[in-house]
Amino acid sequence: MRKQFERDIVLEKPKDRSFGHFATPVAFSLAKELRKSPMIIAEELSASFGEHPMFSAVESVKGYINFRLSESFLDEYASWAMANEEEFGRTDKDEKILLEFVSANPTGPLHIGHARGAVYGDTLLRLGRRLGYDITAEYYVNDAGNQIDLLGLSIQLEGQSSVLNMEVEWPEKYYRGEYMTALAEDALQRFGSAILTDDARQKELALWAKDRVMELIVEDLAAANIHFDSFVNESSLYSDWDRVMEKMGEGIYSEDGKVWIRSSEHGDEKDRVVVREDERPTYLAGDIVYHNQKFEQGFDHYINIWGADHHGYINRVKAAVEFLGYDSNKLEILLSQMVSLLKDGEPYKMSKRAGNVILMSDIVEEIGSDALRFIFASKKSDTALEFDVEELKKEDSSNPVYYVNYAHARIQTILAKSDLSREQIMAAELKGLNADGDALLFEALLLPEVIDDAFHSRQVQKLTDYLKSLASRLHKFYYDYRILGKEDEAKMLKLFIMVALSLRTFLGSKPESMSEGPTAETFSPISWRF
């Protein structure tokens, strides 16, 4: 009698490749239900596969089931991937996702902390779209509240001091940096000197300036190849507050002249104020209206990427979503930690343009957008990241960006030196590979699983880990085995083309033909696609 179980099967890659390509401990999880030893279950399940063409062997070892893929399957899969490059690693998903990230205040240029969330969000976006999800990238513009008022005041004071050469009394808190001087000069040219001296025009100046700063932010993001589908201004939301407040029902209440949300009923440590005594809404009020607007659009899933300092807002916003009548489980909030930069082992100097932060644009200018994206994606987003910009300028194995590009360049070099045509190479069968060749081919073919795992685990560093591992195997194989002029040259070059495809899927562009590839000694880096 056959019994069926509905469960996810965990597949692992054994560290010792002699055990096979995959292994599963599923027999251990079935032992209690079947009241059998895991060893017996593993033996029975292994025998049930019979002569399956996908596997050359399915064996039980101490309760684990080990799978070795057949040479025919690996060869056919690789040949299909190379003939269908754009389909390799792609799937079709029937799910709409709204992904919100960056959302920096339009009061100054983006700094490296913003860049961490920007790269993380955009990498998730690209991964999801590669997998076939319908994802909209959205930027929530925090253009309301005290920070915008402070922007207008700061520009006026900077303009009076630096542009009009007036004596000013600086407040304890204000925005500073060369970009403020530039904004004051632009305002003077556009509106005349009164805009910098008339307190009554401070709001007008602030509204103009925040739009100019947003233009700078969009330019900085574009320089890192980050683009958004939609922008939502916080200032546009409050006209809908009365309707949303009514929709919240008993989720809000009035006390001490303030309006509160009962967020403590949904995991928050206490209730929170959403409208102050003077009837000014809090930042949380804008978030409530914004999330109501999101959920009214009917997406299947919502992802927010916030800075780690917003951790305390998670339960508050999820409580609001529940009071609005929606399922807060559809809202996923991911956190992005800060970044520390070094230069030659010393703390990186703050930007003169920003006054007291390191700008994203400064780093892009110094190391390039590809290096910035690669390194910012190389560690879990919720852990701190520290790196030395000088390390990313080196052209050796210590620079992971160079190291991966160098692997692709080496493949193009050896292909260009071969006398074999592409047709001759592609006609070869990827069978009879030695252990190192088998490991290299298997890793190259794992690309679809890496993309899927990196997206669904929300751990984009699995991309860079994969690239570094694949590049390392390629470099070692290149050093250990002579290829050109050997009997199995075509087979080895076909293996290299497969590796190049997996590298290129993440890196982006490709040479027009094998003969036009860069040399391993001097090559132009390929753009980082993710």
Q: Select the highest-mean-pLDDT range: 146-155, 343-352, 511-520.
A: 146-155
Residue 527 pLDDT more than 90? Answer: no
pLDDT (0 to 100) of residue 126: 95
> CA 470, CA 27: separation in Å to the nearest integer?
31
Q: What is the largest CA-CA distance in the chain?
A: 92
- Looking at the chain, the number of H-run helices and the number of E-run strands are 19, 14
Percentage of residues in the chain having pLDDT higher than 70: 94
Overall average pLDDT of the 217-239 stretch: 96
Residue 9 pLDDT more than 60? Answer: yes
Residue 526 pLDDT more than 70? Answer: no
400, 375 contact by CB (below 8 A): yes
438-471 per-position pLDDT tens digit:
999 999 999 999 999 999 999 999 999 999 999 9
264-319 per-position pLDDT tens digit:
999 999 999 999 999 889 999 999 999 999 999 999 999 999 999 889 899 999 99
Hey, what amino acid is at 390? E
Domains along the chain?
A: 17-69 (3.30.1360.70), 146-223 (no CATH), 400-516 (1.10.730.10)
Hey, what amino acid is at 227? H
pLDDT (0 to 100) of residue 356: 75
pLDDT (0 to 100) of residue 512: 35
Overall average pLDDT of the 353-365 stretch: 85
89-126 per-position pLDDT tens digit:
898 899 999 999 999 999 999 999 999 999 999 999 99
360-411 per-position pLDDT tens digit:
999 999 999 999 999 999 999 999 999 999 998 888 888 999 999 999 999 9
pLDDT (0 to 100) of residue 7: 63
Higher pLDDT, 484 or 11: 484
Residue 353 pLDDT more than 70? Answer: no
Lowest mean pLDDT among 79-88, 144-153, 343-352, 468-477: 343-352
Q: How confident is the model at residue 64 (pLDDT cuts 50, 70, 90)?
A: confident
pLDDT (0 to 100) of residue 128: 96
Q: Pull the structure tokens for residue 76.
A: 């056919």
Residue 511 pLDDT more than 50? Answer: no
Q: Which of 519, 481, 495, 521 is nearest to 438 (CA)?
A: 495
Q: Which of 222, 189, 173 is nearest to 181 (CA)?
A: 189
Overall average pLDDT of the 5-20 stretch: 72
**Mean pLDDT in the chain?**
90
Three-state DSSP at 274 gives: strand
pLDDT (0 to 100) of residue 498: 97
> CA 220, CA 517: separation in Å to the nearest integer?
31
Q: Pull the structure tokens for residue 32.
A: 């209690």
pLDDT (0 to 100) of residue 516: 38
Q: Is the dihedral of CA 289, 294, 300, 306 positive or negative?
A: negative
Overall average pLDDT of the 209-222 stretch: 96
Q: How confident is the model at residue 506 (pLDDT cuts 50, 70, 90)?
A: confident
Residue 510 pLDDT more than 90? Answer: no
> CA 90, CA 72: separation in Å to the nearest integer?
22
Hey, what amino acid is at 342? L
pTM of the full structure: 0.90
Q: How confident is the model at residue 520 (pLDDT cuts 50, 70, 90)?
A: very low
pLDDT (0 to 100) of residue 55: 78
Residue 3 pLDDT more than 60? Answer: no
List, in order, residues 6 or more apart from 33 with CB less than 8 Å away: 5
Percentage of residues in the chain having pLDDT higher than 90: 71
